[in-house]
Structure 1
Amino acid sequence: MWRKLRIIVLLMILVTVLKQTWLDKADLDWNDNFYVVVYPINADGTPEVDRYIKTLTRADFEPIAEYFSDEAKRFGLNMRRPMEVQLGARVERRPPVPPEVASALKTIIWSLKFRYYAWKNSPKVAVTPKIRMYLLYYDPAIHNRLGHSTALSKGRVGYVNLFGSQAYHKKNAVILSHEMLHTLGATDKYDLSTTLPVYPDGYAEPEKSPRYPQDFAELMGGRIPVSDTQAEIPKNLGQTLIGDKTAFEIGWLKSTLKSTGGK
């Protein structure tokens, strides 16, 4: 009896996963645009971050929507606004922290907890979103560095660590845009041990001659390569491009062999 019940439950889970996978792939046909909601969180509870969050408006995230619109045009996507970003209400409860040592089992457990958290902590917005990003803001006067951000393509949710200061607003937009693409299936294109972009997919202009210095960062490569051993963090989205491999992963290119992109 219990064995049959377990089998039925597992089959139901499998069907749900397969259905979600199919729906995720269908979304990447880009017949409709993606509505994204960003939920600000005061991660360290400081009054400074509180004040910063209170200043945020939807207009602060408009450059991200415009960036994706411009990049989509380079790849011939016939859609005026592939991404729309909505500012949701502030969320008080913090999401579960990703595991520091990410074994397969720990990652699976955390992802399930995170998706459950997102289900319970998603204040309504004007248009039901397909992507939910939780922005954990920290006071730069207290934190010199932030932990690694992460996002899931299954469930399309993101855990994004940012500095809660106007001085970091443009850099925050780069990090958020990077994580948004993770929810669409884009992969990192940098060496995790060195943070250097991996050639050629992590380079915005891999065919440039001479190769260095590059003028832009590939968004999923994360940095602007200036030599074989050095790369700079982009200051804003204007210093980044979406490369062919990333465009292929998110459905903007049917093949990486021939691209309508480039700069």
Structure 2
Amino acid sequence: MTRREFFSLLRTLLLMLLVAVLLLNIWFSQTRDEHWQEPVTAWIYPINADGNSMTQAWIDQLTDQHFEDMERFFDREARRYRLGLERPIHLRLAAQIEAIPPDIPLEPSIVDAVIWALKMRYWVWRHDDTPREPRAIRIFIRFYAEDNPGPMQHSLGLQKGLIGLVNGFAGEEHAGRNNLVAAHELLHTLGATDKYDMDTLEPIWPDGYADPTQYPLYPQTRAEIMSGRLQVSPGWLMLPPNLDHAVIGPATAIEINWLAAPP
């Protein structure tokens, strides 16, 4: 084989690989164009991320009731926007997944993010055998023991694929905050975007504030769910303990079709 033939073959193989990746992305991609004519179902899949017996004991006693505060949050916020749909999002507990999902890369490039998304969708396709609605949302929660020494990975929600990956601590005292993060990632699957500064984690005014017009502006006593934090004062942030301290702001409501966009 000549040098020219080798590079021609290599170029062909690379093009075929690129086409294969694009086809996989199309195959695994699924989105919801939600018009809220009927409730959306979201399944919660617990995962014992550290293999700890205390983590397993927490997972073993989980029921649908452990996620009722998420349903109440979505119902409360839907009524504020006069959605006309009672319990717009139903949460159901699925069977525990024994496999560990692929780790989210730290500070990923665009290529890293695409590769991870493909790996995650393939992992879900392999390990999710729960009978469910074809276009249901799936939220995977990796639980860790509260004394786990390792660093906690960040959580992520994918609109394409309708998948959320959440990291949380096992135990009743952590349930409220776990569900706050899970609600945030669930909204990502419906098209909501983050409303905080990626470098400082501070909410972006006005869309990232629960009460952007209050005077004085600080302290904020509630968090916009897609900013995820209370801005107590400039430079001072707090993570709300539960969904009682969070709201869905107008910008997020527009993104998930709860509110018409202004002309």
Q: Deviations over 1:204-246 (max 9, x none)?
A: 0111111111120000111111112212110110000010111
1:123, distance to aligned residue in structure 2 (A): 3.0
The CA deviation at 1:101 is: 2.7
Equivalent position to 1:253, from 255, 259, 262: 259
Asked whether 1:219 is paired with 2:219, we answer no
Q: Distance in 2 between matches of 1:196 and 1:143?
A: 26
**Aligned equivalent of 1:140:** 146
Q: 1:41 to 1:16 in 2, by over 3 A?
A: closer
Deviation at 1:143? 3.6
Give a deviation string over 1:174-213, Cα, whole Å, max 9, x none.
1111111111111111112111111111100111111111
Point out the structure with max Rg over C-alpha.
2
Alignment of 1:35-74 (within 5 A): 35-74=41-80
For the aligned residue pairs, the C-alpha RMSD in angstroms reads 2.5
Unpaired runs of at least 5, structure 2: 1-8
What per-residue deviation string (whole Å, max 9, x for no partner) do you get for residues 123-174 of structure 1? Answer: 3246556101111001111247521100100011011100011110111111
Contact 1:37 1:129 in 2 (8 A): no
Question: Per the alignment, in what secondary structure is the counterpart of residue 233 of structure 2?
Answer: coil
Distance 1:172 1:184, change over 3 A: same
Matches of 2:233 and 2:259, distance apart in 1: 29
Letter matched to residue 169 of structure 1:
A
- Contact map agreement 2:28 2:121 (CA 8 A) in 1: no
Instruction: Give the match for residue 184 of structure 2.
Output: 178
Give runs of aligned pairs for residues 12-91 of structure 1, distance below 5 A: 17=26, 24=31, 26=33, 28-91=34-97
- Give the secondary structure class of the aligned counterpart of 1:226: strand
Cα 1:106/1:84, change in 2 over 3 Å? same
Report the count of equivalent residues: 250
Aligned-residue sequence identity (percent) comes to 37
Deviation at 1:61, TM superposition (A): 0.8
Deviation at 1:17, TM superposition (A): 3.8
SS at match of 2:120: helix
Contact 1:163 1:172 survives alignment (8 Å): yes
Q: 1:38 to 1:29 in 2, by over 3 A?
A: same
Deviates most, 224-233 or 146-155:
224-233
Alpha-carbon distance between aligned partners in 2 of 1:44 and 1:227, rounded to the nearest angstrom? 36
* Contact 1:248/1:256 (8 A) holds in 2: no
Post-superposition Cα deviations, 1:49-105, rounded to whole Å, max 9, x if no partner, equal 010101100111111112101101111111102100110000000111111131111
Task: Select 1:201's aligned residue among 174, 193, 207.
Answer: 207
TM-score, with length taken from structure 1: 0.87
> For residues 53 and 29 of structure 1, do their structure 2 counterparts lie closer, same or farther at Cα, with a shift above 3 Å needed?
same
Letter in 2 for 1:151: G
Structure 1 unmatched ranges of 5 or more: 258-263
- TM-score, normalised relative to structure 2: 0.87
In structure 2, do the counterparts of structure 1 residues 145 and 223 end up closer, same or farther at CA, with 3 Å as the change threshold? farther
1: distance between equivalents of 2:220 and 2:194? 18
Given the superposition, is the C-alpha separation of residues 176 and 229 from structure 1 closer, same or farther in structure 2, using an over 3 Å criterion? same
1:16 Cα deviation from its structure 2 partner = 8.3
